[in-house]
Amino acid sequence: MRRRDFLGRAALGLPALRAWGSASLPELEEAAVAGLQDAMKAGRETAVSLAEKHLKRIADLDKAGPAVNSVVELNPDAVVLARALDEGRKAKGPRGPLHGIPVLIKDNIDTHDRMSTTAGSLALEGSIAPKDSFVARKLREAGAVLLGKTNLSEWANFRSNRSTSGWSGRGGLTKNPYALDRNPSGSSSGSAAAVAAGFCPLAVGTETDGSIISPASLCGIVGIKPTLGLVSRSGIIPIAHSQDTAGPMARTVTDAAILLGALAGPDPSDAATEAGRDKAHRDYTTFLDADGLRGARLGLARKSFRPGAVGEKVVEAAIEEMKRRGAVIVDPADLPTHGKFGGFEYEVMLYEFKAGLNAYLAVLGPKAPVHTLEELIAFNEKHQEREMPYFGQEVLIQAQAKGPLTEKAYLDALEKARRMSREEGIDAVMDQHKLDALVAPSGGPAGKTDLIYVNRGVGGSSGAAAVAGYPNITVPAGEAFGLPLGISFFGRAWSEPVLLRIAFAFEQAVRGRRTPKFLPTVG
Q: Which pLDDT band, with edges at 50, 70 and 90, does 23 fall under?
A: very low
Are 124 and 203 in the same domain?
yes
Q: Would you state the pLDDT for residue 20?
A: 29
Are 114 and 203 in the same domain?
yes
* Averaged pLDDT, 512-520: 97
pLDDT greater than 90 at residue 153:
yes
> Dihedral (C-alpha) 264, 265, 268, 272: value to the nearest 10 degrees?
70
pLDDT greater than 90 at residue 258:
yes
* Averaged pLDDT, 455-466: 88
Are 228 and 116 in the same domain?
yes
Residue 412 half-sphere exposure toward CB, CA atoms < 13 A: 4
Are 481 and 427 in the same domain?
yes
Q: Which pLDDT band, with edges at 50, 70 and 90, does 366 fall under?
A: confident
Closest CA to 54 of 34, 33, 27, 72: 27
Are 135 and 277 in the same domain?
yes
In a domain, 353, yes or no: no
Q: Which pLDDT band, with edges at 50, 70 and 90, does 523 fall under?
A: confident
Q: b or e along 453-469 (b: 16 or more beta carbons within 10 Å of the residue's beta carbon)?
A: ebbeebbbbbbbbbbbb
CATH number at residue 190: 3.90.1300.10
Give CA angle at 269 (263, 272), nearest 5°: 70
In a domain, 275, yes or no: yes
Are 73 and 190 in the same domain?
yes
In a domain, 74, yes or no: yes
pLDDT greater than 70 at residue 12:
no
In a domain, 486, yes or no: yes
User: For the chain, what percent of residues have pLDDT higher than 70?
Assistant: 95
Are 237 and 329 in the same domain?
no
Calculate the average pLDDT of the chain: 94
Are 318 and 208 in the same domain?
no
Last residue within a domain, chosen from 226, 258, 288: 288
* Averaged pLDDT, 448-475: 91
What does DSSP say about strands 297-300 and 437-443: parallel, antiparallel, or unpaired? parallel
In a domain, 90, yes or no: yes
Q: Would you state the pLDDT for residue 54?
A: 97
Q: Which has the minimum average pLDDT: 2-11, 215-224, 334-343, 509-518? A: 2-11
Consecutive H or E run containing 150: strand 145-150
In a domain, 279, yes or no: yes
Asked if residues 103 and 202 have their Cβ atoms less than 8 Å apart, the reply is yes
pLDDT (tens digit, 9 = 90+) per residue, 63-83?
Answer: 999 999 999 999 999 999 999
Closest CA to 24 of 64, 56, 67: 56
pLDDT greater than 60 at residue 439:
yes
- Structural domain for 466, as ranges: 297-338+421-510
pLDDT greater than 80 at residue 16:
no
pLDDT (tens digit, 9 = 90+) per residue, 396-418?
Answer: 999 999 999 999 999 999 999 99
Q: Which has the minimum average pLDDT: 16-20, 88-92, 119-123? A: 16-20
pLDDT (tens digit, 9 = 90+) per residue, 279-338?
Answer: 999 999 999 999 999 999 999 999 999 988 899 999 999 999 999 999 999 999 999 999
Q: Would you state the pLDDT for residue 308?
A: 87
Q: Would you state the pLDDT for residue 367?
A: 79
Q: Which pLDDT band, with edges at 50, 70 and 90, does 379 fall under?
A: very high
Give the rounded distance of the alpha carbon of 440 from its chain centre: 19
- Count up the domains in the chain and report the number: 2
Asked if residues 185 and 191 have their Cβ atoms less than 8 Å apart, the reply is no
Are 232 and 334 in the same domain?
no
In a domain, 57, yes or no: yes
Q: Would you please indicate which residues are annotated as catalytic (active-site) residues?
A: 106, 187, 211
Q: Would you state the pLDDT for residue 207?
A: 98
Neighbours of 293 (CB within 10 A): 25
Are 326 and 202 in the same domain?
no
Are 190 and 330 in the same domain?
no
Are 57 and 141 in the same domain?
yes
What DSSP line would sit under 55-116, residue for residue?
A: HHHIIIIISSTT----EEEE-TTHHHHHHHHHHHHHHH--SSTTTT-EEEEETTB--SSSS-
Q: Would you state the pLDDT for residue 9?
A: 35
Q: Would you state the pLDDT for residue 311?
A: 93
Last residue within a domain, chosen from 271, 288, 305: 288
In a domain, 232, yes or no: yes
